[in-house]
Structure 1
């Protein structure tokens, strides 16, 4: 093993050992009775930045604890410069709102976009130049043959997989949560005998990491960790 790989392996073992790195569970800081009493005394009039320093906790944790204890800011604090504007002012933005009965300046004025907009718009019923007739077939980048089944509606609903059409012609509509797959995984083998209806959950199990036995899963995880560690060590070596 070359020096870079040895260094990466050592770092990986240290980093991914129990109680270290991403495997280490975050430490939860519980509120003590003393913390609660102190928060009850200070929350009414103390700005949040000071509370964060005093309790060494993020603002959302302090807000959450105060809410669970039923604590409120005092009227004096809400009227001070420390409170946000929405709390400090009774009706912020009132001056810039429309008043009841007020008319907008452009009422009754017809919109005119100008230019050649009108003459270049699609007329009702006009189809774009790249439109193809219903029944046209195409092959996606994944090798799935599709057929155009309609001209209206969203673009993604105008095309349907040919293998799904073959299955539906023989068996009826595909049930929700299910898909039609190729038994031999050959997307060009478009015959009914090669098609199978499976649930999306089953398809995921067949085509993802979850189909492997536990021993192989653990080996793959460790290998991926080692690859990442080697990559990081190589990057650091190049930066030196």
Structure 2
């Protein structure tokens, strides 16, 4: 049976000499693996230019519950042409965030609020012209809401420590040792106020941004079992040096 759905490209993996397996987060079916024949001269297939990290697609797909890999009949780009590919910072952030999404989103069922958040966030990255260096931090904080691990900003008072295990700010130093000092906790509290609309108003040094990204990833790692080391992290950090 054929279905039309929107999708966001998360990951592409070669499969043999002729095929690709592409992980796409779809509006109708959640995360789906598609077996794709790349388009070649004179042959029908899906153009690899459509399969860049975080590409937004309109798809006509076959979907059968009795198979693990589905098929794409037609694919059309919904992304702005080359918006993420030609801008070095946006390209690095797309690579980094698509790797995170590939690791943390496993559900093979529809989740409209999460899909709409992701779709709108990618669209914002495509069109943003200010605050781009803060985009990945804003994204990770907003994504945490949909993953059910949002830090509790309401518990912050100046001088408190952020408890990475409990996700709250506390007066006492946690005995388990997984916490941020008062200065880093203050930065964490600031970041919880960031949105895509106001992210250009937040100024951080490279050292601050790199440190807080490490803390956010530690927070993810503590709350999402199996969260790995990320290959694209060093590329992103090097870009901001």
Query: What TM-score does the superposition give when structure 1 sets the normalisation length?
Result: 0.18
Instruction: Report the structure, 1 or 2, having the larger strand content.
Output: 2
Query: What TM-score does the superposition give when structure 2 sets the normalisation length?
Result: 0.18
Instruction: Report the structure, 1 or 2, having the larger helix content.
Output: 1
